Structure 1
Amino acid sequence: MGLIDIINLLFSIIIRAIDIYSILLIIYILMSWVPASRETKFGIFLGKITEPYLGFFRKFIPPLGMIDISPIVAIFVLNYLISSGIREVYRLIIASLM
């Protein structure tokens, strides 16, 4: 296995982890619509995983009345800004190795 193969594997794992985390964020957000679902073992587990990331955005983005838009911003940042940045770093690394 060459260096490029290792880099490909590493970056594909990172991108896949971001995709899975995005899905977990969406599930956690949707759980807020179902009363007491966040108090289940699964809800508590998701809260431990997602609240640190969501909490960062909640510090800066206040709710608009009854609507909390910080999860939307958090998912956007994760899926578009962070993923795009990682893909660009990948492209630069691969280009420098060629």
Structure 2
Amino acid sequence: MLSLVGVIFKVLNWCISAYILLIVVYALMSWLPGAYQSRLGQFVGRIVNPFLSYFDRIALGPLGFGPVVAIVVLTLVQYGLYALEGMLINLMLS
């Protein structure tokens, strides 16, 4: 049972890390003309835009900081998962 909990949390953390990577790729595509219209751009956009839409209003003039804030939020969620995993494992061991 203990290893199953560890595997579940490792998979969740891997998924969050992969999603953070997709956000970085999406943000970097803004530097390339026409990248959003490519197949890869449309695919990444369909995955990332629903989450990034929560952070669209965070801007300083013409610079948008939505992807940065989204990555910070996902990183905090990862830290929370690490803490929750530690608490669950301690409960199961005692």
Q: TM-score range by the shorter chain?
A: over 0.9
Name the structure 1 match of 2:2: 4
Matches within 5 A, 1:3-82: 3-59=1-57, 61=58, 63-79=59-75, 81-82=76-77
Report the Cα distance in structure 2 between the residues aligned to 1:19 and 1:71, rounded to whole angstroms. Answer: 14
Q: Aligned pair count?
A: 93
Pick the aligned partner of 2:86 from 84, 91, 94: 91
Greater strand share, structure number: 2
Report the Cα distance in structure 1 between the residues aligned to 2:56 and 2:41, rounded to whole angstroms. Answer: 19
Q: Which runs of 5+ in 2 are unaligned?
A: none
Q: Which runs of 5+ in 1 are unaligned?
A: none
CA offset digits 1:14-67 (Å, max 9, x no partner): 1111111111110000001101101011100000100011101114x2x21110
- Tell me the C-alpha RMSD between the 2 structures: 0.9
Q: Which secondary structure does the structure 1 equivalent of 2:63 belong to?
A: coil
Report the Cα distance in structure 2 between the residues aligned to 1:58 and 1:93, rounded to whole angstroms. Answer: 35
Structure 1 runs of 4+ aligned residues shifted over 4 Å read: none
State, as a whole percentage, how many aligned pairs show the same letter.
Answer: 31
Q: Which secondary structure does the structure 2 equivalent of 1:33 belong to?
A: coil
